């Protein structure tokens, strides 16, 4: 009965050794999806607070300029870029395009993602 769950099998899921590129792409896509979902809830809470008037807006603007929030914005953009480009890769391979070249596609997605993240980060730091 190999399909039974056990603590050992659960822990093995988090073991990064001997993973194929497809596994890394899947894990990365799930992590970015969870992060973007968390951001959506935080964003809705922040927008709800802004409806409380000018003082709430001014407090939000002051909070938005803090280094922690700026770093969080960078993480949201990074997650969005990675999730979006990886989603395009998944869609292409789902339609049979590039199935034999999944490793190269994933590497290309990561290079494009890192490039986009760096461009955004440099732009954000300059302003």
* pLDDT cut 90: percent of the chain above it: 46
Looking at residue 82, its pLDDT comes to 96
Structure-block tokens of residue 113 = 């993602």
| Contact partners, residue 25, CB within 8 Å, separation at least 6 | 86, 89, 90, 102, 106, 109
Exposed/middle/buried for residue 74 (C-beta within 10 Å: 0-12, 13-18, 19+): middle
Q: What is the pLDDT of residues 95-107, one digit of tens each?
A: 999 889 988 999 9
Where are the chain's structural domains? 22-126
Using a cut of 0.85, tell me whether the model's pTM lies above it.
no
Into which CATH architecture does domain 22-126 fall?
A: Up-down Bundle (1.20)
pLDDT at 34 over 60: yes
Looking at residue 4, its pLDDT comes to 65
């Amino acid at each position: 009965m190999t399909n039974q769950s056990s603590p050992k099998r659960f822990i093995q899921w988090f073991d990064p050794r001997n993973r194929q590129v497809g596994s890394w792409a899947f894990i990365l896509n799930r992590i970015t999806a969870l992060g973007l979902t968390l951001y959506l809830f935080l964003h809705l809470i922040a927008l709800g607070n802004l409806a409380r008037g000018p003082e709430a807006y001014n407090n939000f603007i002051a909070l938005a300029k803090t280094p922690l929030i700026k770093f969080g914005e960078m993480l949201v953009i990074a997650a969005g870029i990675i999730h979006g480009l990886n989603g395009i890769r998944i869609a292409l391979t789902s339609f049979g395009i590039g199935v034999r070249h999944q490793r190269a596609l994933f590497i290309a997605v990561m290079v494009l993602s890192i490039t986009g993240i760096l461009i955004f980060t440099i732009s954000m730091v300059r302003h």
